[in-house]
Amino acid sequence: MRSFFARYKLFGIVLLCLSIVIIYLFYNALQPVKLLPVYSPAMVNSELVADEIQHVRKYHTIADFSLTNQNGETITQDNYKDKVYVADFFFTTCPTICPIMTKNMVGLQKALGNDSDVMLLSHSVTPEIDSVAQLKKYAIEKGVDDGNWNLVTGPKKEIYELARKSYLAVKTDGDGGPFDMIHTENFILVDKDRRIRGFYDGTKKEDMDKILADIEILKKSYEK
């Protein structure tokens, strides 16, 4: 009897290991795939959405744009084609939340490293102050790597319409006029199809951890 068990001991160990592998593979196969929501205006606090699009329940995407970055280059939606990106709104002379947001965005850039699938996009809400030269100075001071992060300026009305009607990011009903001012702490995660996939508080460290995790979920959703 002892010789029988000794003879089949190796076979039993191999069978046990194989069974464990099969159970593990079945367990993973049965786990639901993590997916991020696709946000439409109807899903967002109505205070953040322009009246004319509050009824939209699907197919909401970021509108086309043409702005100028810290290097004087024209930046359009084509620069972000087939990219996941994080957008925000700031101004270089902001003494309150913007320095924290910029610091956290720098942290995101460092955490993403050389990931060519992910980019960053920061819109100035005081374009009359934030010239190309001012944005470049700010970028250098804050440690912005312009390889995948554009700080953009341009027509105030265009930027404000993007904030309100595309990124669903602000609570004001202003028109982008000279006395209009928006200020939001939101970071917005946008997918390769220009759809909003998440909102995050750009002043909170825990939200930066969340956005990095969600970026990985989003990237995996594109894997074939």
Residue numbers in the known binding site are: 94, 98, 183
Annotated binding-site members for Cu cation: 94, 98, 183
| Distance (Å, whole) CA 66 – CA 20 | 55
List phi, psi (to 5°) of 160.
-70, -35
Closest alpha carbon to 217 in 25, 57, 59, 37? 37
- What sign has the CA pseudo-torsion 136, 116, 90, 140? negative
